[in-house]
Amino acid sequence: MARDESGTMKFSHILAVVFAMGAAAWVLSGNLGEDVPAAEGGAEPLPDTLVEAPPATSVRVATSVATPHSLELTLTGQTAAERIVALSAQTRGRVETVEVREGDFVDTGDLIATLAPDDRMERLERARSSVRLREIEYEAASRLAESGWQSEAAEAEALAQLDLARSDLAAIRLDIERTRIKAPISGILEELDIEEGAVVHTGAAADTIGRIVDLDPITVVGFVSETRVASLETGIRGMVTLATGETVTGVVRYIARTADEQTRTYRIELDIPNPQHTIRAGMTTLVKLPLATVPSHFLSPSILSLDDSGTLGVKIISEEMTVRFLPVTIISAEAEGYHVAGLPEQVTLITVGHEFVTDGEAVIPVHVDVSSGTL
């Protein structure tokens, strides 16, 4: 009996080992089956047509058409008087009357002041008498010379004395005229440094008694760099913004041929009509001069982007409905956006969503109307 129980236990142990080995073989056969090709009994892979591609990105786009844009040269300048003329007395004397005041507008020839005549009228009469005497002497010498009673030399001497007397008469008349100090040019009497009773002088001790400033036209003076001066020419019209905010038009009348030794810039001058003398000399100005006209697109800064190399540009939609990056150059700026060059005459720009798409990517464009305003 004991022998039968021992045999039974051995058989049970053997059966358990067989079952364990069978289970291990089944597990191994299942793991290996995943890597077995379909031809050898493995699972067949799904065809590519059944793998769903991600949807294309939608972007907002708008059509932009190039328009002519004038390139401008912007520089700072300063207004200056057309002419500034100092007033000086041309004869010595005491100021008898002053006819104008500082700030008055005077025309050429207007009376500024008069000097006391002193003894000038007496000297005038003596000069006239001397001329009459010399005329009589010359007539007598001429008749005697014609009759042979006097030499030609005596006649010539009488003529010389007559000419000298006439010269003295002209000199005193001029001196009397100079006692009436007149405006040499038209303009504003900026300064007047004389008053009644004062004495004015001539020669080395001459006094400057005033200053007249011609402000019509008024001149705007600016300086242009040596790289841009060749783009300018006389006769072109420019816009000048004054310190007051007023905008006026000027014409370039002068471009220097030699550069300033310190700044290496060239002086230019513009003339601005100023008939009412409302524009003062010495005002700071902003000058814009046209250089050339080029086609450009006016874009909002939000449309611009950079490629991987740091180049500034925009992203557009190609004919294949894919994204394409095009570099641009900013040629001028305004408060609402930039004028850029480098794009085709007509282009479809990505206005919203360009940050999320890359060059060559297929997208779904959604057109928006931007018939007015900046893209």
Residue 140: partners with Cβ closer than 8 Å, 6 or more residues away = 158
pTM of the predicted model as reported, rounded to 2 decimal places: 0.60
In the chain, the domains with their CATH numbers are 58-69+294-367 (2.40.420.20), 74-82+215-292 (2.40.30.170), 84-213 (2.40.50.100)
Count of all residues that appear for the chain in the document: 375
- Would you say residue 43 has pLDDT above 80? no
Strands 265-272 and 329-333: unpaired
Average pLDDT, the chain: 85
Compute the distance between CA of residue 366 and CA of residue 287 in angstroms, rounded to an integer.
43
Neighbours of 79 (CB within 10 A): 23
Quote the strand ranges of 66-204, DSSP E: 67-80, 83-88, 93-98, 105-106, 111-115, 180-182, 187-192, 199-200
How much is the average pLDDT of 359-371?
A: 84
Mind listing the pLDDT tens digit for each residue in 234-267?
A: 999 999 999 999 999 999 999 999 999 999 999 9
- Would you say residue 51 has pLDDT above 60? no
Compute the distance between CA of residue 316 and CA of residue 293 in angstroms, rounded to an integer.
25
Mind listing the pLDDT tens digit for each residue in 132-154?
A: 999 999 999 888 888 777 777 88
For residue 194 the two structure tokens come to 């004389």
Mind listing the pLDDT tens digit for each residue in 310-341?
A: 999 999 999 899 999 999 999 888 888 999 99
> In the 8-state DSSP scheme, what is residue 322?
B
For residue 372 the two structure tokens come to 């007015």
Please give the helix or strand (H or E) that residue 128 lies within, else none: helix 120-147
pLDDT band at 14 (very low <50, low <70, confident <90, very high): very low
pLDDT band at 49 (very low <50, low <70, confident <90, very high): low
pLDDT of res. 268 = 97
**Which of 265, 255, 263 minimizes the C-alpha distance to 224?**
265
- Lowest mean pLDDT of 39-43, 89-93, 151-155, 299-303, name the range: 39-43
